[in-house]
């Protein structure tokens, strides 16, 4: 995708990867609008980045999505890039009783939210130049983390949806991208100080390089082995990965 001259809407832009992407695009001369549920976080980001705009959005709520989509279409007619980045990640218990409310919240935020957001904006995006729809999934879409089974399944489902949507839009001019981060130092899972996680600045820098190419899947180098999950041999790979991560959590 082109890295400048866009009008870009980013969900979950108040912190973490969403904020990092918003600031990187803002610095390259794009008009950036961020969204999130926490007004204080949004205000902090736009105060640090004059010219950036923000709108409150509850990605779990269809009415909120429809309200924000209508505002975006009215206020930013040149909107041509949507980055579905908002997400939640929590430990669950696939070996026992799943917390139903937490499961529904994760499914609604990570899967239904981006599908609904894109659905609300896709016809508008099609009318503009160089349209792009991007989704932040995870390497856990390819290799599930057993301790976050519901989260991993939402990202696997999102990856599947992205492939279908990319196929369906291939003659429309809309590019459909998937950003699949590795473990990154963000507030997600309290990972700011995690030694094994990738520094956020390094991830954003690598991701921006990849976004500037013709790649449909945006993978920094450290994420590529997870994407290379070896097909029929995946169970051994997944089991080995989870055994390693159980040691990390236990430590």
Mind listing the pLDDT tens digit for each residue in 196-246?
Answer: 899 999 999 999 999 999 999 999 999 999 998 767 777 788 788 888 888
pLDDT of 21 strictly over 90: yes
CATH superfamily of 7-250: NAD(P)-binding Rossmann-like Domain (3.40.50.720)
Question: In the prediction, which pLDDT does 230 show?
Answer: 67
CA distance 141 to 156: 4
Q: Tell me the pLDDT of the chain averaged across its residues.
A: 95
- The domains of the chain are located at 7-250
User: 76 catalytic, yes or no?
Assistant: no
Question: In the prediction, which pLDDT does 56 show?
Answer: 98
Question: In the prediction, which pLDDT does 163 show?
Answer: 93
pLDDT of 55 strictly over 90: yes
pTM for the full predicted model: 0.92
Question: In the prediction, which pLDDT does 180 show?
Answer: 97
Average pLDDT score over residue span 174-188: 95
Task: Find out whether 42 and 56 touch, Cβ atoms under 8 Å.
Answer: yes
CA distance 204 to 72: 25
Task: Find out whether 186 and 198 touch, Cβ atoms under 8 Å.
Answer: no
Query: Which of the pair, 231 or 41, is modelled with greater confidence?
Result: 41
pLDDT of 249 strictly over 90: no
Q: From the candidates 76, 135, 151, 161, give the one annotated as an active-site residue.
A: 151
Query: Which of the pair, 58 or 239, is modelled with greater confidence?
Result: 58
Question: In the prediction, which pLDDT does 233 show?
Answer: 74
């Amino acid at each position: 995708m082109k890295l400048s001259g866009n009008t870009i809407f980013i969900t979950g832009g108040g912190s973490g990867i969403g904020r990092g992407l918003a600031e990187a695009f803002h610095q390259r001369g794009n008009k950036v609008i961020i969204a999130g549920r926490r007004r204080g976080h949004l205000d902090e980001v736009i105060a640090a980045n004059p010219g950036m705009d923000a709108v409150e959005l509850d990605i779990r709520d269809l009415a909120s999505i429809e309200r924000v989509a209508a505002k975006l279409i009215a206020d930013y007619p040149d909107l041509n890039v949507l980055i579905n980045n908002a997400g939640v990640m929590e430990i669950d218990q696939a070996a026992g009783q799943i917390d139903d409310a937490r499961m529904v919240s994760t499914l609604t935020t990570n899967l239904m939210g981006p599908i609904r957001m894109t659905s609300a904006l896709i016809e508008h995006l099609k009318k503009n130049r160089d349209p792009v729809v991007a989704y932040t999934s995870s390497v856990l879409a390819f290799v599930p983390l057993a301790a976050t089974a519901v989260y991993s399944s939402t990202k696997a489902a999102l990856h599947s949806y992205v492939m279908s949507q990319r196929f369906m839009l291939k003659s429309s001019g809309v590019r459909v991208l998937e950003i699949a981060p590795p473990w990154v130092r963000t507030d997600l899972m309290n990972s700011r100080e995690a030694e094994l996680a990738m520094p956020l600045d390094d991830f954003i820098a690598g991701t921006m390089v990849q976004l500037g190419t013709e790649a449909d899947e945006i993978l920094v180098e450290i994420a590529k082995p997870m994407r290379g999950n070896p097909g029929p041999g995946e169970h051994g790979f997944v089991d080995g990965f989870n055994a390693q991560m159980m040691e990390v959590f236990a430590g």
